[in-house]
Amino acid sequence: MQDFANSTGLTGSPQHRRRYLWTDAFAVCNYLELYRQSDNQEYLQLAIKLVDQVHHTLGRNRENDTWLSGLTGEEAKLHPTLGGLRIGKQLDERGTNEPFDDRLEWERDGQYFHYLTKWMHALNRVSRVTHNGVYNQWAMELAQVSHQAFTYTSGKDDAKKMVWKMSIDLSRPLIDSMGQHDPLDGLITYQELVSTSALFPDTKNKIDLKAEIDDLVTMCSGHDWGTPDSLGIGGLLSDAYRLVQLISKNQLRDDDMLKSLLQDIDFSLQAFIKHNTLNLSAKNRLAFRELGLAIGLYAIPEMQTAIKQDTGSFTHINQLNILLTQLLRFYPLCDLIKDFWTETKHRTVNTWTEHADINNVMLATCLAPGSYLKI
């Protein structure tokens, strides 16, 4: 993480500065974990500095350096997330008259909802660690503005839906299909923010996310979350653990959603094993996707412990324990993935070096996932 700070311009020369929202969200949590383990203020300051850099880089337009929120001066700095945050891709977003190119779109800038929820989580963690409500407030403002931009009512069935990718100014969809797990990730993240917001009753102009939460509850109802994708499964496991924590803290009473989610995770892991890519060579694997799975798998025993310590908050206690015990058979994949990517020779292939920042940061999270997994 010290190498990451130097190489991406968090410390040292600003000429080398490169910010990328997904990677930086994990990095913030990693610095918080280093601070938790060492009590070294340097790591806490790196987390705070990274938040500031992300806002001042990805919260502004690429060309003219104006804030995405349209605000100016001190008001813009007080509300750095009111216009959302750019992904941080190297290429500019697709123009209104440019044809869609599936390959190029992955390299183009814009805004992703699932990146924004990752950043909300990171801000929320900073708020908890620093006991400063402003980070939670920024996350709540980001939740409100992104929800308004990414959700819409379908004319066909009058149902609320989401788009996957929006333009930098949030004025038009760039990919209008819905990310499979975006509603679930949004719902649990919003609930996490509301839970933390209660710790800061003196916050001025408090934001109420009830309408946004209601929208996502409806979108999530009866949804199948199953996926064979390693990164997607890891995200489901992380979401399940956050859901366990929210139920344990009595912010939610939704055992049914948790039970259904754990069942979908079991199905997903079975599908992943059937098409196991972990036996391939390093050059044929994407580390950050596998590391996302490993991070999520670490949450399985944490969920067991949390439920055991607070059985009174859970209704379907026996079923939940059975499901988590079944999921433990996949837990050895954690060390299999971690051990593979900690070998130096596996980190010299193009598939690692081309995504070095995200791979290194997520490997660090895999080695010490506590501050990322906790709410």
The pLDDT of residue 251: 65
Round to whole Å and give the CA distance between 112 and 167.
9
pLDDT at 2: 96
Q: Which tens digits make up the pLDDT trace of 16-45?
A: 789 999 999 999 999 999 999 999 999 999
CA angle at 251 for the pair 249 and 255, rounded to the nearest 5°: 90
| Non-local CB neighbours of 275 within 8 Å, separated by 6+ positions | 228
What pLDDT is stored for residue 65 in this prediction? Answer: 85
pLDDT in tens, the chain (375 residues): 999 999 999 998 777 789 999 999 999 999 999 999 999 999 999 999 999 999 999 999 988 889 999 999 999 999 999 999 999 999 999 999 999 999 999 999 999 999 999 999 999 999 999 999 999 999 999 999 999 999 999 877 778 899 999 999 999 999 999 899 999 999 999 999 999 999 999 988 889 999 999 999 999 998 899 999 999 999 999 999 999 999 997 767 778 999 999 999 999 999 999 988 999 999 999 999 999 999 999 999 999 999 999 988 998 999 999 999 999 999 999 999 999 999 999 999 999 999 999 999 999 999 999 999 999
- The residue type found at 195 is S
User: Residue 236 and residue 229: Cα distance in Å, rounded?
Assistant: 11
Please compute, for residue 103, the number of CA atoms within 13 A of its CA located in the half-sphere on the CB side. Answer: 0
pTM for this predicted structure: 0.96
